Chain A
Amino acid sequence: MQQIQAGDHQAFVKLVDRHLTTLHKFAQHILGNPTDADDIVQETFVRVWQKAHQWQPKAKVSTWLHSITNNLCMDFYRRVKVKTVDITEVNLITSHQPATDKQQQDVKIQVQTALQQLPENQRCAIVLCYYQDMTNREAANVLNISISALESLMARGRRKLKKILQIQSDDLLGEI
């Protein structure tokens, strides 16, 4: 990062190669589609290049990058108001697929749609800890909240996910 702060283009290329996939996955889980994630990740790296001097050595680079991506995703939500698909529409979307694949595909889409139905902050907390493999401290730093607030968001998020998925299908979650 210090090399990037000094305007080193090669260091920036290395940073992109190291973090592109992770940040793209993060944005995809938050926004629900890869096309919007492309734009957000591109903007993230532009910000990193422009504002490299704002990074402080005490902050972990991946945490800082996730914070920027998260802020851009939130701005995107406020600007565009992402349309969430109602979970009951999912069967219509996948009805043309073969029966065996269709069931598996149905489950994946149902879970993805359920995740998109969570409030933004709950979804971010879950995505950071589940998909980005962050520790609770790192995730709390990204969201700029305390660990107990993060735990509260995650617990509420998981409860809501269970509820949404149970409404859709009792088979999905078994006995929970």
Chain B
Amino acid sequence: MNKITQQRFSQLLDIYGGNSNRWPIEERAAALKFLKESTEAYRLQQAALNLDNLLDSIPTASPTAMLRQRILAQHYTEPVQDAWQWFVQWFIGTTVREHFLRPAFMLIIPLVFGIFLGLNLETVSMDENMLFAEEVNLLALSSTE
């Protein structure tokens, strides 16, 4: 078990609050040990718990049975997305950044392929030039009749 510093303990309270169940599991044991040994740590924890208690007081309404029915009724009418729809969705993305980056990425692929192909064709054409030159040389040596 690693030791925890006063500074890190304060950070834990600032981030996760005073309830030890919310502290990261890797640091919890060390933080609880530190809490037992330090009265200052205890005071800081109690202060953090004030905000936790307030946050815990926020009420929420449970979902209604009608919502469940709506969800189940709707899913029967919704078709499962096919591969083409999935590809189109993937291609255009879901965020503004993806709307630009994904099509751009897809356009770069044929560009890179074209450059690669172009570089290879250049070597082929050089070979052809050499063959052509050889052919001219041979023709030059042959008789003109």
Q: Do A and B bind each other?
A: yes
A129/B58 in contact, CB under 8 A: no
CB-based contact B55/A135 at 8 Å: no
In the complex, A50 Cα to B126 Cα: how many Å? Answer: 54
Residues of B within 8 A of A21 (CB): 62-63
Q: Which of A40-48, A55-63, A94-102 contacts B (4 or more CB under 8 A)?
A: A40-48
Q: A46 to B14, Cβ gap below 8 A?
A: no
B75 touches A (CB below 8 Å): yes
> Within the assembled complex, what's the spacing in Å between the Cα atoms of A16 and B70?
11
CA distance A9 to B78 in the complex (A): 12
Our pick among B14, B59, B67 for the contact of A20 (Cβ within 8 Å) is: B67
- In the assembled complex, B139 has its CB within 8 A of some CB on chain A: no
Cα–Cα distance between A165 and B55 once the two chains are bound (Å): 11
Q: Which of B32-40, B46-54, B105-113, B128-136 contacts A (4 or more CB under 8 A)?
A: B46-54
* B22, A107: Cβ atoms closer than 8 Å: no
A172 at the B interface (CB under 8 A): yes
Partner of A9, one of B15, B55, B76, B89: B76
A16→B86 CA distance, assembly (Å): 23
Most interface-central of B15, B57, B64 (chain A CB within 10 A): B15
Chain B interface residue count, Cβ-Cβ cutoff 8 angstroms = 38
Across the interface, do A115 and B58 meet the contact criterion of CB distance under 8 Å?
yes
A148 to B94, CA, bound (A): 25
Residue B3 at the chain A interface, CB threshold 8 Å: no
A115 to B60, CA, bound (A): 13
Q: Check A112 for interface membership: any CB of B closer than 8 A.
A: yes
A136 and B71 contacting across the interface, CB-CB below 8 Å: no
A-B contact count (CB 8 A): 114
Determine which residue in A21, A107, A111 has the highest number of CB atoms from chain B within 10 A of its CB, and name it: A111
Contact (Cβ within 8 A) B68 A111: no
Whether A159 is near chain B, meaning CB under 8 Å from some CB there, is yes
Q: Does A49 lie at the interface of the complex (its beta carbon under 8 Å from any beta carbon of B)?
A: yes
A52: chain B residues at CB < 8 Å are 80
Chain A 136-175 interface mask (CB, 8 Å, partner B; 1/0): 1000000000000001001100110110010000001111
Q: Is the CB of B74 within 8 A of A42?
A: yes
- Is there a chain A Cβ closer than 8 Å to B81's Cβ? yes
Q: Which residues of A contact B17 (CB under 8 A)?
A: 130, 158
17 A-B pairs (CB sep. < 8 Å): A16-B72, A20-B63, A24-B62, A24-B67, A38-B63, A45-B75, A46-B71, A46-B74, A46-B75, A53-B86, A71-B94, A115-B55, A130-B55, A155-B14, A158-B15, A162-B51, A174-B47
Binding site for B on A (CB under 8 A): 7, 9, 12-13, 16-17, 20-21, 24-25, 28-29, 34, 38, 41-42, 45-46, 49-54, 71, 107-108, 111-112, 115, 126, 129-131, 133, 135-136, 151, 154-155, 158-159, 161-162, 165, 172-176
Seen from chain B, the residues whose Cβ lies within 8 Å of a Cβ on chain A are 11, 14-17, 22, 24-25, 47-48, 50-52, 54-55, 57-64, 67-68, 70-72, 74-76, 78-81, 86, 89, 94
